Amino acid sequence: MTPVFCCGFECGVLPANGGHWNPTASAPSISTTTVRTGNRALRINPSASIIGASSSAVLATAVNVFRVAIRFTTLPAADMPLVTAAAGSNLAGAFFKQSDSKIYAGTKVSSVIVLGATGVAVTTGIWYIIDVKSDMTSNPWLIDVQVSGTACGQKSTATAGTTTAAFRLGDLDANQSADIFFDDAVWSQTTGDYPIGNGYVNHFVPTADGTHNVAGTGDFQRTLTGTDILNATTTAFQLVDEVPFEAIVTDWINMLAPVNATDYVECIFGPAPGIQIPIIGPRAVEVIAGINQAATGNGNMEIRLNDNGSMGTVYTATGIAGVAVASGQVFKRAHFADPPSAASTWNALSSGNGAFNNVRVRFGSPAALDVNPDQYFGCIMIEAEFADQLDAAAFGRPAGQLGQQQMAQLLAQ
């Protein structure tokens, strides 16, 4: 699989200032009670209103392949887009049809919804895996949808070829009434990845300090306490491990004035509370970080993913005007379908290239040293997507019915 985006909604925020999703004005909510895997899911609960979310990742392409888990508490009261690729106001993907309570492959072009010949019936209280492939390369558009492995009839729509800019959950254009939960989303732009099928997204946060490289005092400090972070410090990770993320940052790693561009504070990622240590490598690694600074002047900072000494850039800025603390954090994201090192895939080892269980984050300056304003690193999380781990024959149920935590419990018995 060659993913470009994944999200389990585990950061717990839907900010307008970056992050994974751009919510509608009447924003969706984050649920911690109705979830498929991990600790959080997205809830869209409109009542004759517009509530939905569009991916912040803008990846213009004609082919989009999505996998999302979806659960209805109340079925929509009207026909409704559920999981779609958006080209302006035109949509292609999975739609709900109110008259027969089925999900169909469909399109919405010039405000008109047209569905494929056959759909798959759904009901409340069940998690369904929705796989979508929308191919808008040329006329006609070709839309394929599966619901937990059962194919809907393909939809062919006579419309000129185009590219899409976003991945949508829910209806961002028309009033709806429904109660729907979404979880474990992943997005690819490779035709051969369809259907992605079962899998899930878990989250990982800093759980220990790594090996800092700090020249001396007055370079990095704990928030505004004046307490230095030095090479011997072992608790810097506690400043950036918040779950859920804070909209207004209350503690952070404060970069004042390192004397070398090679100076950094390093933290090691581990499973967030309630999440198991992975026993297989992820297929996708999505990093999201919160940043801020002491004032709105131009500053320099860099956040890097450290894979066994190979660096991948999460965010870098030189001479960029920042957001001051009172205005809230700005969130930055980066996707790593492949490790920064020479490894071809992520693995669950604790050493060597691509070792997900030993991945680290480094915070410091790019080549241009930062002096003023002070740069703040407020939080960071990895949301990693894993393939289903269950063996249907061994566990006596279809693959994908349990997530990583449940499987670990079974293996321990």
Count of helices and strands (H, E) across the chain: 2, 29
The amino acid occupying position 280 is I
Rounded distance, CA 239 to CA 212, Å? 15
Domain extent, residue 164, equals 3-197
Rounded distance, CA 136 to CA 134, Å? 6
**Can you name the residues that pair with 84 across neighbouring β-strands?**
93, 168
**Can you name the residues that pair with 349 across neighbouring β-strands?**
none
Given a cut of 80, whether residue 403 has pLDDT beyond it is no
Rounded distance, CA 1 to CA 399, Å? 18
Q: Which residue has the tokens 């994974």?
A: 20
Considering the domain architecture, whether residues 171 and 219 belong to the same structural domain is answered as no
State residue 401's pLDDT score: 39
Given a cut of 50, whether residue 350 has pLDDT beyond it is yes
> What confidence tier does 15 reach under pLDDT thresholds 50, 70, 90?
low
CATH number at residue 57: 2.60.120.200
Q: Supply 202's token pair.
A: 């878990």
State residue 197's pLDDT score: 95
State residue 389's pLDDT score: 60
Mean pLDDT of 128-132: 98
pLDDT in tens, 43-54: 999 999 999 998
User: Residue 35 burial by CB count (10 A; 0-12/13-18/19+): exposed, middle or buried?
Assistant: buried
Rounded distance, CA 68 to CA 367, Å? 40
pLDDT in tens, 160-192: 999 988 899 999 999 999 999 999 999 999 999
Considering the domain architecture, whether residues 162 and 58 belong to the same structural domain is answered as yes
> Which of 197, 219, 235 is the last residue before a domain boundary?
197
Considering the domain architecture, whether residues 120 and 230 belong to the same structural domain is answered as no
Do the domain assignments include residue 408? no
State residue 287's pLDDT score: 97
State residue 248's pLDDT score: 84
> What confidence tier does 392 reach under pLDDT thresholds 50, 70, 90?
very low
DSSP string, 138-159: SSSEEEEEEETTEEPPPEEE--
Rounded distance, CA 282 to CA 8, Å? 13
Rounded distance, CA 202 to CA 184, Å? 8
Given a cut of 60, whether residue 407 has pLDDT beyond it is no
Query: Residue 404 in 3-state DSSP?
Result: helix
Mean pLDDT of 118-134: 98
The answer to whether residues 255 and 220 touch, using CB atoms and an 8 Å cutoff, is yes
Mean pLDDT of 149-155: 98
Considering the domain architecture, whether residues 285 and 210 belong to the same structural domain is answered as yes
Q: Supply 9's token pair.
A: 């909604």
Rounded distance, CA 255 to CA 322, Å? 14
Q: Which residue has the tokens 């394929």?
A: 144
Among candidate residues 18, 2, 20, the one with its CA nearest the CA of residue 382: 20
State residue 399's pLDDT score: 37
CATH number at residue 379: 2.60.120
Considering the domain architecture, whether residues 116 and 256 belong to the same structural domain is answered as no
Mean pLDDT of 9-14: 90
DSSP string, 282-314: -SEEEEEEEEEESSSSEEEEEEEEEETTEEEEE
* Residue spans of beta strands (DSSP E) within 117-198: 120-121, 127-135, 141-147, 150-151, 155-157, 166-170, 176-177, 179-188
CA 180 to chain CA centroid, nearest Å: 19
Mean pLDDT of 326-349: 91
State residue 342's pLDDT score: 87
Given a cut of 90, whether residue 89 has pLDDT beyond it is no
Considering the domain architecture, whether residues 187 and 49 belong to the same structural domain is answered as yes
Residues 6+ apart with CB under 8 A from 413: none
Considering the domain architecture, whether residues 378 and 292 belong to the same structural domain is answered as yes
Considering the domain architecture, whether residues 159 and 241 belong to the same structural domain is answered as no
pTM of the model as a whole: 0.92
User: Residue 62 burial by CB count (10 A; 0-12/13-18/19+): exposed, middle or buried?
Assistant: middle
Do the domain assignments include residue 393? no
pLDDT in tens, 216-228: 999 999 999 999 9
Rounded distance, CA 68 to CA 78, Å? 21
The amino acid occupying position 213 is N
- Which helix (H) or strand (E) covers residue 392, if one does? helix 392-395
User: Residue 374 burial by CB count (10 A; 0-12/13-18/19+): exposed, middle or buried?
Assistant: buried
Considering the domain architecture, whether residues 344 and 240 belong to the same structural domain is answered as yes
> What confidence tier does 400 reach under pLDDT thresholds 50, 70, 90?
very low
pLDDT in tens, 277-298: 999 999 999 999 999 999 988 8
Do the domain assignments include residue 149? yes
Mean pLDDT of 357-368: 94
Given a cut of 80, whether residue 59 has pLDDT beyond it is no
Given a cut of 70, whether residue 38 has pLDDT beyond it is yes
> What confidence tier does 17 reach under pLDDT thresholds 50, 70, 90?
low
> What confidence tier does 404 reach under pLDDT thresholds 50, 70, 90?
very low
Do the domain assignments include residue 331? yes
Given a cut of 50, whether residue 394 has pLDDT beyond it is no
State residue 371's pLDDT score: 80
State residue 370's pLDDT score: 83
Considering the domain architecture, whether residues 233 and 346 belong to the same structural domain is answered as yes
> What confidence tier does 6 reach under pLDDT thresholds 50, 70, 90?
very high
Q: How many domains does the chain have?
A: 2
User: Residue 76 burial by CB count (10 A; 0-12/13-18/19+): exposed, middle or buried?
Assistant: buried
State residue 247's pLDDT score: 82
The answer to whether residues 320 and 330 touch, using CB atoms and an 8 Å cutoff, is no
Rounded distance, CA 153 to CA 134, Å? 13
